[in-house]
Amino acid sequence: CFWGGELAYQRMPGVVGTHVGYTQGQKENPTYEEVCSGTTGHTEAIRVIYDPNDVSYSALVQLALDRLGGDVYKLNQVGNDRGTQYRHGIYYHNDEQGKVAKELSKGYGSGGRGVMTEVEEAKIFYMAEDYHQQYLLKGGQSAKKGASESIRCYG
C-alpha cells in the first residue's frame, strides 16, 4: 500500500513533505477507481519532498528498496496487492538521481534473481484523493521523526 511507504518517509529525518498519488500512466487526472481498474497505466506512488542538506537521495531510494524487501523480485506486486497499479518503481527527476537509483537497485539482483523494480524518468504525478493523504497518520499511527513502531497498512 502506498500509505505504508508514505508513513515510512514521513518518519525519515530530512523529509519535509509527502503526497500519495499516481504516476507513469496515460490518463490525465485519474481517480483511484480508474487506476485500480488497471486501464490507465498508472502505478500508485509517493512523492517525497526532502531537504538534501539533511537526507540524501540515496537514503530515500534505499528506504524504498528496503521496504519492498523480497517484493523487488515480483512483477506487479507489493505484499498481497497485485496488478499493474502495484508495480514498484523509482521515478527520478534528473540524470544524477537516475544513476543513483539504477546503481542501488542493481545491488539487489543477486543469486540470479532479477529485480522487477522499474527505474524510469518520472512522468506527471497526479495527487490521490484527499482521503488517501496521510491516511495512516490520520488513523493514529505515529509519523514522528525516527519512530520505529511497526507500520500497519490498515490505519
Per-residue pLDDT of the chain in tens (155 residues, 90 and over written 9)? 799 999 999 999 999 999 999 999 999 999 999 999 999 999 999 999 999 999 999 999 999 999 999 999 999 999 999 999 999 999 999 999 999 999 999 888 766 678 999 999 999 999 999 999 999 999 999 999 999 999 998 75
Q: Which three cell numbers stand for residue 132?
A: 488517501
pLDDT of 109 reads 72
Contacts of 47 (CB under 8 A, 6+ apart): 18, 19, 20, 21, 125
pLDDT of 90 reads 97
Distance CA 141, CA 121 (A): 32
Distance CA 32, CA 34 (A): 5
H helices present in 12-155, as ranges: 32-36, 57-68, 95-106, 135-138
Give me the active site residues, please: 1
Q: Which three cell numbers stand for residue 136?
A: 495512516
Using an 8 Å Cβ cutoff, are 9 and 145 in contact?
no
pLDDT of 154 reads 77
Q: At 89, which amino acid appears?
A: G
Strands 43-50 and 77-78: unpaired
Q: Which three cell numbers stand for residue 17?
A: 513533505
Q: At 49, which amino acid appears?
A: I
